Amino acid sequence: MTKTIFLIAICILATQCSTQKKVEYNIPPDVGEPNRSLLVQRFEKGKILYKIHCSDCHGIYTKGKDSVPNFTKQQIDNYTAIALADPVNHTVIKKISSEQLDYILTFLRLKKKGT
C-alpha cells in the first residue's frame, strides 16, 4: 500500500516537473533586477507578437517544433537593417509601433537557441 502511494507521489512529482515552464530566454547573468524582469516581460510580449505577425512568412513548421527559427545574431542584425531601411514596403513593419518592434527584437535576441 505504502509502495503504491509512494509511486503515485513520484508520478505526480514527475508530471509536475515536466509541465513546469521551461526557461526559454538567455539573459546574461550580469543583468540584475528590475531590468531582468522588464526584459522577461518584453521577451514574452515579443514572443506573442512574433507568432502572430512574423511567423507566417518567417516560420518553421515541423512536427514538434514551434514556429520560431533559431536566428543568428548576424541574421537578426542584417534583417533589422534591411527591414528598417524600407518600412513602407514591409507588410508588418509599416504598421508596427517602435515599442512593439523592440519587443520582437528583444525576443529574438534573448531566445535560447533550440527552444
Partner 1 sequence: MRTLIPAKELKKISVITILIISSVCFSFSFKNNNAYKNLYLNRFDDLNRELTLLASEIRSSDLSEKEVENLKQQIETARLKLKGVDFWLRYLEPTQYKKINGPLPVEWETEVFEKFEKPYKRNGAGLTLAELYLKEKVKNKDSLLHLVQSSIDASRAYLADSITGRLSEYGTFFLANRLFLLNLSAIYTTGFECPDTNNIIPELRSMLISVKDIYSNYDKSFPSTSLSKEYVDLYNKTISFVNNQPGDFAEFDHFTFIKDYVNPLFVMNQKFIKTYLVISKSFNDYTLNDSCSSIFDKSLYNAQNTKGIYSFIEDKNILQEIKQTGKLLFYDPILSGNNKRSCASCHKPAEYFTDTALQTALQFDGHQYLPRNTPSLIDATFNHLLMLDGKHISLQAQAKDVIENPKEMNSDEKEVIKKVLSCKEYKEIFKRFLKLTPEENEITLNHIVSAITFYYGDFSNFYSPFDDAMNNNKPLDETCKKGFNLFMSKAKCGTCHFVPHFNGVKPPYMGSEFEVLGVPADKDYKKISNDSGRYNINPATETFHAFRTGSIRNAQYTKPYMHNGIFNTLEEVIDFYDAGGGAGHKLDVTNQTLPVDPLKLTRTEKDELTAFIQSLNENIIFEIPPLQLPKSSDKNLNARKIGGEY
Binding site for partner 1 (CB under 8 A): 44-46, 48-49, 52-53, 82, 84-89, 95-100, 102-103
Cα dist. 9→13, 19, 98 in Å? 6, 15, 49
Phi and psi at 60, nearest 5°, equal: -120, 135
| C-beta of 8 vs 84, nearer to partner 1 | 84
| C-beta of 65 vs 94, nearer to partner 1 | 94
Least separation, in Å, of the C-beta of 59 and partner 1? 17
| C-beta of 19 vs 97, nearer to partner 1 | 97
Q: Tell me, letter by letter, the H, E, C secondary structure of 40-55.
A: HHHHHHHHHHHHHHHC
Cell of 12: 505526480
> 111 has which bridge partners?
25
Least separation, in Å, of the C-beta of 97 and partner 1? 4
Least separation, in Å, of the C-beta of 102 and partner 1? 7
